[in-house]
Amino acid sequence: MSFNKPIPPELNEVTGKVMDSAYAVHSTLGPGLIESVYESCLIHELGQRGVRFERQKTIPIQYKDVPLNDVLRIDLLIEGEVVVELKAVEKLLPVHKAQLLTYLKLVKSRVGLLINFNVPLIKDGVERVVL
């Protein structure tokens, strides 16, 4: 994985579809629900847009070349490359971004989206993270 290369346009297109899907969900439901409800609705919207995704994707974890029995579970892996971490919290904290950055490293992906549905305007709840 090379961090010096520009992000391919296809990944920008994919993240745009995810953000459009999140907007559709948020404009229909608004804030105040639990994360799992937003996740279910988001995967419906992604499917409508023909976006491939894996929900609650498990990732094996290795520590210093030792495989662990534990696995990491990420909310969504989009098109095999974009990690999406969903929240329904009062406010995104630095630890949420740190969590996404760690997931990106473990999945060996460069692009992630942190989406908090518990905001009045969804544009204020989306953060794109690039390694």
3 located within any domain:
no
| Any domain includes 2 | no
Q: Are strands 53-63 and 126-130 parallel, antiparallel or unpaired?
A: unpaired
* Spatial separation of the C-alpha atoms in residues 46 and 83, rounded to whole Å: 14
Domain membership of residue 36 as a residue range = 9-130
pLDDT digits (tens, 9 = 90+) for 34-91: 999 999 999 999 999 999 999 999 998 888 999 998 888 999 999 999 999 999 999 9
Instruction: Establish if 26 belongs to a structural domain.
Output: yes
Chain-centroid distance, C-alpha 86: 6
4 belongs to a structural domain = no
What total of structural domains would you count in the chain?
Answer: 1
Q: What is the per-residue pLDDT across 77-93, written as a single tens digit (0 to 9) for each?
A: 999 999 999 999 999 99
